[in-house]
Amino acid sequence: MKVCIVGVGAIGGMLGARLSERGECEVSAVARGPTLDSLKTHGWQLQEGGRLIRSRVRATNDARDLGPQDVVIVAVKGPALASAAAQIAPLCGPDTAVVTAMNGVPWWFGYGTKIGDEPLRSVDPVGQIAAAIPIERVIGCVAHLSAASIAPGISRHVKGRRLVIGEAMRLGSVSARVERCGQLLSNAGFDLSTTADIRYEIWYKLWGNMTMNPISAITGASTDQLLADPLVRNFCSAAMEEACEIGSRLGCSINESPEDRHAITGMLGPFKSSMLQDVEARRTIELDGIVTVVREIGQRLGCSTPNIDAILGITRLFGRVRGLYP
């Protein structure tokens, strides 16, 4: 079985290293710059549990070198997806599955819902991604784990191993190819769940990330510090209530309160959000797939989002002033 990782950052590097170590499939990578140099010289490198996992990998900056794959795992940051999408076509044969292991709401999220089949402009402004990656190929993936990219081509596993996968097309059941991908990832050491409703899983994770990520990026605070401030905590809760209303209209109703979710976040202990890590590394922030898109969906559904608007406006300005958001 051939598996290609497109985007070897923290999550992509962890997925590639663990799949390669298991040895059930041939794992290649599409990367560029210093990350590509590192992969060619040192192979997969993952720091985990006091040990360094290393294995050889065929890495290239041109997907045409690799040919059709059985599974393509896309793990790039949201802002890089439009350019990365062009590398997907040479990797796809008739039955290739494309697994999107990314933060936030993907471009295909609206298909088959009340917001319509038109790609979400916040994440796919001109439909370039939708044209390059047909939804029929897509398996959505939600990662409930923490990892960091400590150097080009080197990932460090922090905590958690849970992955949830399901068809982007609403089939009403778990498909055979989702089961196959799930078994592959489970054998590689991930706590794997399959679902017939991946949109709910995406929305539920977003429900917490939509506030913790941008506010931590602006303030430089870890999640425990954010939750310890009652004014910040209440502001997050108010924005989450707006997202709950949007979700309920989409068929992604969340039967928890914001305080329930804060309690879950609190149990994870102090950690830096992925967006804060991007700010500290001077990388472009993933604002559109985590916040802008929520506002867009709210507008399409006629939902008022004053608190989400405030988070978006302040974080967008913060990013632009620092050259981290276009």
Does the active-site annotation cover 205? yes
- Cα 305 to chain center, whole Å? 23
SS3 149: strand
Q: How are beta strands 191-194 and 26-30 bridged, if at all? A: unpaired
Tell me how far apart the alpha carbons of residues 270 and 275 are, in angstroms, rounded to a whole number: 15
Check 77, 114, 159, 205 and give the catalytic one: 205
Please check whether residue 272 is in contact with residue 216, taking contact to mean a CB–CB distance below 8 angstroms: yes
Name every residue whose Cβ is closer than 8 Å to that of residue 20 and which is 6 or more positions away in sequence. Answer: 27, 44, 55, 56, 57
Q: How are beta strands 44-48 and 51-55 bridged, if at all? A: antiparallel
Task: Using alpha carbons, select from 6, 44, 65, 18 the residue that is nearest to residue 184.
Answer: 18
Classify burial at 315, counting beta carbons within 10 Å of its beta carbon; exposed 0-12, middle 13-18, buried 19 or more.
Answer: buried
DSSP tag of 150: E
Tell me how far apart the alpha carbons of residues 102 and 127 are, in angstroms, rounded to a whole number: 18
Ordered DSSP codes for 249-318: HHT----S-HHHHHHHHHHT-S---HHHHHHHTTPPP--IIIIIHHHHHHHHHT---HHHHHHHHHHHHH
Which residues are designated catalytic? 205
